[in-house]
Structure 1
């Protein structure tokens, strides 16, 4: 069977992260959304229906019947059972959302031609980009149960201090030095070949994914996920780092989502609470204006390949696009378009040849290369995001 994870009309709510990926390639909890479905459908081929410029990297199917699934609705056992009983010419709906349907890829989906079945969906779903951190606590719990079922954790070293050790799972090859692991508020997951250096303090729910490192003295609070191949230091609270990104030094990151191939310079700090305690407004690409999150705590959203220099200060509710380079003193504005170069004194366009040069060097450090397809995607984003740049 083929399953196709599709982006619906909410896709733009997840920009700038979905500039470079479909919704299904976003990480929330421990796993990416597509990886969650792969656990429930291990024999199925997983494909994507997304923007045309992304389809060369995230493949779709040209023919054959497929089960189409809305990427924003995360799988649960009950939901998967309903999917397994779904037949041709039937579609599942939850409120005003299409959850799933069978179709041939050459056909345009028209709900009116399907027998529409309303269901009581019991899982986590996301509507806006801030849901990624706001619902990450709950998503870690679900993924922890999924990943650790019928598996045995590696032994916790005697020199580590733990609270609720039965809620701590350590994959093969992980190294834990004299860390403090407090799972009293939720589980702690340590991925394969991950490293917790000396004097690291962690409070669950927390996930450190494969090949990632918590540096000495790091302080990690609840609802935080560190994606694979990342290095993290300082203080982090209720934040999601998608993977292949670094925050290697002191500084605070709270209620934030960081894309892939990002780097936060030493002593970078994010504000996640306004001085007047009011709800935070965040730039919305879909609305083309700042949108009220109705959250009191909201920090930084940063797209792939963006970097900031030492001592960078981000205001509450800042959105940074793809491949931005931020540096200098003072607070930069709280919407920084893709391919921006500068800081509080102003921005100019970050030239595409320089973007490619830096991205290639950064990716080679992880034994990966910036492919021609990656370059085409970045070129498309560069052109599409020009409307937001001022020079």
Structure 2
């Protein structure tokens, strides 16, 4: 049976993170949401998403197809409910479509607005991702679930005895390297993927995961729940952050209660605030309503979409949203919302010239031989650039 992860209205409330990917391609815990379903159901996956994303994220239909809402993370109760689901009968949670099994003919006509009937109501509260802050807010839950999923029946590889390991929930894959570091799993598991390097003097407190080909530099301090995706280099102090992959925070500076997309770079001594001086609730810019939205959180830092960058000594205020391919630099605090393809800082912004941005992106991709800056990638950025023109006028571009 083919697994197809579909986008619903959460795609709009998760912007700008979902300008460049389907909802189920979001990483939370150790795995992306799509990878979680794939491992649990022992099957490949594809996506039902926006047309401009389909060249990179195509939908693959089989004779039998299981459509799953990409904003939901699997758990035992959901897996059991889906397993028992008759073909053509929808599984719903509080009126929202969670899953439905369809034939090839019906799959070709799938639409989230189709009325599949009352169906089966799911009673247990699942983990779902509706807003960007949900990713760091619920990362601890998903890190623990993924750790259990990935380590079941396996034995950790040995690492150097120069390290101090506190607690029992520590797992290293073959090829993980660490020297003279401390790992504490007392407050959450610690997972080191293959071909990762934890440099001397790093201190890590779980829950924590680092994915292949990433590095923590000397003296890095990490507090849970934090995920470092593949091909990243991280330094300084990190607390409850999810960094998806191919991104760098290679120097000193604080990153906390944050989500950082792919291909981002935080310049030396970039810092974000995650707590207001008056201790009041943090608001975030909401693309769906084009206004500031209450988060219900006292601690909320930085949301940064793919390809965004900051210069040295950049200061992000509490609850800042940075759009796709924004380039932020200069002294002072920039606004709490920096639209996609903006260039500047506290002294003002201009539109980041599209051809210049594309040249930079091509150079960034060229550093990773296994990733190609192809037409599908270019189409996604071109579409996003056009869709966000009006937003750039908000900061004077």
Indicate yes or no: 2:33 matched with 1:33: yes
Q: Contact conserved, 2:171 with 2:191, CA < 8 A, in 1?
A: yes
| Corresponding position of 2:266 | 264
Of the three residues 315, 336, 339, the one matched with 2:338 is 336
The 5 A counterparts of 1:61-140 are: 61=60, 64-103=63-102, 104-109=106-111, 112-114=115-117, 116-140=119-143
Structure 1 distance, partners of 2:294, 2:258, is 16
Q: Contact conserved, 2:210 with 2:230, CA < 8 A, in 1?
A: yes
Of the three residues 247, 250, 258, the one matched with 1:248 is 250
* Number of aligned positions between the proteins: 389
1:38-89 deviations in whole A, cap 9, x for unaligned? Answer: 10122x3311011111011101136744111011111113321221221212
| Corresponding position of 1:379 | 382
How far off its partner does 1:115 sit? 5.1
How far off its partner does 1:93 sit? 1.1
Of the three residues 361, 364, 367, the one matched with 1:362 is 364
Structure 1 distance, partners of 2:31, 2:177, is 21
1:177-228 deviations in whole A, cap 9, x for unaligned? Answer: 1001011101000011100000000000011111110000000001010001
How far off its partner does 1:148 sit? 0.3
When structure 1 is superposed on structure 2, of 245-254 and 47-56 the one drifting more is 47-56
The 5 A counterparts of 1:223-242 are: 223-242=225-244
The 5 A counterparts of 1:135-214 are: 135-164=138-167, 166-214=168-216
When structure 1 is superposed on structure 2, of 33-42 and 276-285 the one drifting more is 33-42
Unaligned residue ranges in structure 1 (runs of 5+) = none
Q: Contact conserved, 2:159 with 2:176, CA < 8 A, in 1?
A: no
| Corresponding position of 2:310 | 308
| Corresponding position of 2:280 | 278
Q: Contact conserved, 2:159 with 2:177, CA < 8 A, in 1?
A: no
Structure 1 pair 357–112 and aligned structure 2 pair: CA distance change class (3 A): closer
Structure 1 distance, partners of 2:154, 2:293, is 43
When structure 1 is superposed on structure 2, of 275-284 and 353-362 the one drifting more is 353-362
1:112-156 deviations in whole A, cap 9, x for unaligned? Answer: 443511122354212211000000011100000000001110113
Q: Contact conserved, 1:61 with 1:105, CA < 8 A, in 2?
A: no
Structure 1 distance, partners of 2:89, 2:389, is 42
Structure 2 distance, partners of 1:222, 1:32, is 18
Structure 2 distance, partners of 1:324, 1:168, is 37
Structure 2 distance, partners of 1:370, 1:106, is 30
Q: Contact conserved, 1:253 with 1:270, CA < 8 A, in 2?
A: yes
How far off its partner does 1:157 sit? 2.0
1:315-366 deviations in whole A, cap 9, x for unaligned? Answer: 0000000001111111111100110111111111111111111111111112
Structure 2 distance, partners of 1:285, 1:64, is 37
Give the root-mean-square deviation of aligned CA atoms. Answer: 1.3
Give the TM-score, by structure 1 length. Answer: 0.97
Q: Contact conserved, 2:2 with 2:62, CA < 8 A, in 1?
A: no
> Which runs of at least 4 in structure 1 moved beyond 3 Å after TM superposition?
61-65, 108-115
Give the TM-score, by structure 2 length. Answer: 0.95
